[in-house]
Structures are given as C-alpha cells and as structure tokens.
Chain A
Amino acid sequence: MTDRPHLAVIGAGPAGLAATLAAAARGTRVTLIDSAPEAGGQFYRQPATGLRARRPQALHHQWRTWERLRDSLAGHVKAGRVRHLTEHHIWLVEKRLAEGFTVHALLGPEQEDPVTVRADAVLLATGGYEQVLPFPGWTLPGVLTAGGAQAMLKGTLTVPGRTAVVAGTGPLLLPVATGLAAAGVDIAALVESADPRVFLRQSRTLAAHPGKLGEGALYAGQLLRRRTRTLYRHTVVEAHGTDRVEAVTVAALDAEGRVRPGTGRRIPCDTLAVSHGMLAHTDLAESLGCLLDGTHVHVDEEQRTDVPGVWAAGETTGIGGSALALTEGHIAGGSAAARLAGTEPDPEEWATAAKSRTKLRRFAAALDRVYRPPAHWSEQVTDDTVVCRCEEVTAGTVREAVGELGAGDLRTVKLLTRAGMGWCQGRMCGPAVAGLAGCDLTPSRRPFARPVPLGVLARAGEETDQ
C-alpha cells in the first residue's frame, strides 16, 4: 500500500480527462477507468486504430483541445502518475466502511471477466446519453439517435444510409447533420421543433457566449452551403416503411407545440437520426447513495456529492456540453487532490474555472429553454406505438395501466406493464412513459450499471470481505 492517496476517475470523456489531469498535476495517484478502447468519451470519440485515419480532426471540432488532453494524459501515463484502464465496463462502485471504494468492472467487449480496482476516492464522470420520445414508426431499422449516428461515424467511419432526415430538438442536430453531410450522406431535411423566436428571448444569455454562437452559425453556414432544407417548428409525426425506414412525415407545430393539421409533408429517406435531448448516467452515483437533483447528481461548488469521497463532474451532474464538462472536471480533480492530501483547495486556483462554470451553466440552462420537445408530443403517439422498445410495451398498455388500474407513478406503471423491465432497464423509455402517464421522471434505481453474469456476481467482493 503506497502512501499517496489513490483516486479512481470513472469515464475518460472531457470531464474525466480534465479531472485526471488536474489531480495528477497535484501529485495524486490516479487510475482512469473507461469502457472504450481509447480515451475521449462520446465528444472526442476516436476512429478505431485499425482504420488508420490520418485526418481524424475532420470529424471533430475543437481538435486542439483534444490534442492537449490526449498528450497531457500520455505524459502522465508515461511518468507513472496515471494508470489508464481501457475496456473496463463498470457495473458497481462499492463503498466499504473504512476501506475506501471498490470498483467492480467487466473486462473487454464481451463483458464476462471480472476485475476490481480499489481506491480511496472516486470521481464519477460517466457522461450522458440521448433521449428520444416515441412516435409511430420509430422502431423501424434506420431510425436511430442523432448521437448514435455521430458515434458510428466518428468511431467506425461508417454512415447509416444514403439519405437522412435529422430531426428532433437540441444543439446536437446541427453538428450531426453537417458531419453526415461531410461524410457523403444527403441530408434531405433538418427538422427542429424549437421556435427561433425563443432564441431571441434567450438572446442576452446566448450572446454572452459569442464563441458558442459562432459555432452554431458555422454549422448553419455549412448546411446552407449544401442547400439543406431546414424546418424550424416542425416535428416528425411518423416514420414509414416495412423492414426499414423509407420516408418520414413531418408537420408544422403551432405556438402551443401541437401539430397543425393539414401541414404534413412526406420526405423520402433511408435514415432518420433523431434526438430530443440528453439524460445523465446516474446509476453508479445512486447505488453509492448520492443525492440526486431530479435526474442528475447533486454536487457542491467543489463538485463533491453528498457521499464523502465521491466527486462528480460533467454531464452526470447536469447536461451542459463539453466546455462545461472540462471546467467541472478541472474543479473536481483539483478538489479531490487537495482533500485527499488533507488540505483545502485554494479558491484562487479555481476561481477562473468557477466563473466559467457559472457562465456555461447559464448558457446550458438557456439552451434547455430553447430546445424543448413539442409540449403535446404524446398526442401523436397512437395506442399501438411501441413505447418500451425492449419489452415492446405499447402506449395503449401504458395508458390502460394509468386509466384503468390506477397507476400514477413510473414504478407502478413499470410493475403493471413491464415498461422499463427489459435489457436497458428503462433508460430509453423512462421519459416517454413518464410523459404518457403524466407523472414525474423519477430516477430508476439500478443496482447494476451493466448486466452482470451471475457467475461473476457469485464471487464479487469476496476477497474484500475476508
């Protein structure tokens, strides 16, 4: 057992990388644990090595930021200050009374072989994932999340089809559309349900971030150059096809977020990339007993959760993009380093970062107000539309549980319909079921962040109990 305190950083996206570098720079021993073969998370997902991409920056923005992160990490790893464990799929972080934390993971893409890592403290930078609200035809092959299309493009240099409609709401739609277009996909339309006038109402906050607005303008410019049809205040009401998507119907929304009858237009396509925002991964935090604010992990100004020894940074503490994740990771890493050394972090050191964090959080909140799914989206969801993809539970079944069997909360709907009981454990359908049932999206308690082979579970943590 070495003298230096040991911090486990979970997740090697922007937040986890920034945290690792901040902590390592202050002398903390860090183990960076991540499920991917390379660092970068979603935002900086790298093309697979075997593809020998010589110009990966063509798929990314802010490449120089990535290069700095990547090279600093390499330096720390080479110097032995940081251990970077790749392809570790963590299913549980256990807090042991006097002995710190045990991280339980499954190794490699098969995720069958167990491995554990002990640490004195953990920093959760587990990121987020996409939310998609259902609509008729959304389960057709060829309909995928916008982020998923982007992940496949960045990581494997493949595209989902030839002609795509990119739809939904959120700041992700533009970069996904331009990325696919640059990779040779014909973007038949960009369909955004947000109202451009809401942009104007948020203009003061948005204008405080000229860099980010500039980014948006850059994307918009790129799309215009390719003469991509962009439809604001429109939504996809149905995806059509038999074994894969062949066309979508889009329609206009009125000021209340209702579909305006008679405005439906059919757009042929073989791909529909859709997104309605993002959700935080909170499973590891929850099973550690961390307090949540709604659907994300609660932290103080040092990025500490309410469980001693547990920090959190990035999307997991609230969706806000990569710049915010970097800032929060930096603060969290610095705080963890100081606290583990028995000192208090010097407020001067992170004053700039804290100011930046405040501004970026305000910006994220403003974006949230702009990019809302249409208020009456559930009216488009017919009774026979599948809502829980895993268990194929339809909207009609959910509505029956509410109307006839008296279900009034997410857990009861789940018990009575099986919605949320499948492989993905409600990650995909939670918001939709909550919306249809008219109840709060209460976070699901998921003791296992990943499926765990029973043979592995049968021996998990045995050695630490002895």
Chain B
Amino acid sequence: MSSPLDLADARPDPAFTVTLDGREIEALPGRTVAAALWEAGVTSWRSTRGEGRPRGIFCGIGVCFDCLVTVNGRPNQRACLVPVAPGDVIRTQEGTGHDD
C-alpha cells in the first residue's frame, strides 16, 4: 500500500518532536502544523466560539480560517500555513483563542 512519502520518493530530514496539549508527537521538517497533526491522527484542534464544535482543515490553503490553532502561545495561527519547528508547543484553542 503506497503512502505519499513513497509516491514522491521522499527521504525527509530527521523527524523531531513537538507537543500537542502536552502530548509529544513526531513531525517531519517542512511540514505544516496541520500536516503534523494529520500524521498524528488528529483531525480537529479547535472548538468554535459559539457552539463549541470541533474544527480542523477545511480549505487547506489559508482562506477559510477554520484551522486556527495556538502555537507557542500565539493564538489564531492557520495550521495549514505555519510550518512546524522542533519543540513547538501546539495547543488546541477555544472561543476567540484569547481566552487563556
């Protein structure tokens, strides 16, 4: 069964660790926060400010603002645009993202 890394014959640089709500997950360099979360089996990392419903990727290209997540204390980052870096602290966010 093929995987996208196989398909593109990718030999990525070594993976590193980031945390999601304190849980350690592995990430490959160059990937976005959204991609790292997908690879870790996570499809939602925000709950909406009205109904508290889960959201993750929708448009995938930075236009819809569904995928907002808090990275290193900065809220409302579009996970589909922001690349991961080693040691990044990623947090699911609620409400306006500023509620902390």
**Interface on A for B, CB 8 Å cutoff?**
35, 42, 47-56, 58-59, 109-110, 129-130, 139-145, 147-153, 155-161, 182-184, 243-244, 389-392, 422-424, 427-428
Contact = CB atoms under 8 A, between A and B. Distances in A.
A122 B56 CA distance: 35
Contact of B10 (A47, A141, A147, A148): A47
B20 interface: no
B63 A54 contact: no
Interface string B31-69: 110110011000110001011011111111111111010
Contacts of A155: 32, 35
Given A50-B29, A51-B28, A427 B63 contact: yes
Contacts of B34: 152, 156
B10 A158 contact: no
A145 B74 contact: no
B22 interface: no
Contact of A55 (B8, B65, B74): B8
B13 interface: yes
A160 B4 contact: no
A153 B64 CA distance: 18
Contacts of B76: 423
Contacts of B83: 48, 109
Contact of B63 (A50, A129, A139, A157): A129
Highest count of chain A CB atoms <10 Å: which of B43, B66, B76? B43
A416 B86 CA distance: 45
B73 to A, nearest CB: 12
Nearest to B39: A158
B2 A148 contact: no
A158 B82 CA distance: 15
A427 to B, nearest CB: 6
Nearest to A186: B1
A interface secondary structure, majority: loop
Nearest to B49: A392
Interface of B: 1-13, 28-32, 34-35, 38-39, 43-44, 48, 50-51, 53-66, 68, 74, 76-77, 80-83
A152 B9 contact: no
Given A147-B61, A392-B51, A59 B43 contact: no
A148 B50 contact: no
Contact of B32 (A54, A156, A160): A156
30 contacts: A35-B62, A49-B30, A50-B13, A50-B31, A52-B10, A53-B10, A54-B8, A54-B10, A109-B81, A110-B74, A129-B63, A140-B54, A141-B55, A142-B43, A142-B56, A144-B58, A148-B57, A148-B59, A156-B30, A157-B8, A157-B31, A158-B31, A160-B43, A182-B2, A183-B2, A183-B3, A184-B2, A392-B53, A423-B65, A423-B76
A35 B82 CA distance: 12
Contacts of B9: 53-55, 58
Given A54-B11, A159-B4, A424-B63, 20 more contacts: A48-B83, A49-B30, A50-B30, A51-B10, A51-B28, A58-B8, A139-B53, A142-B43, A144-B57, A147-B60, A156-B30, A157-B10, A183-B2, A183-B7, A244-B44, A389-B58, A390-B65, A392-B48, A392-B51, A428-B58
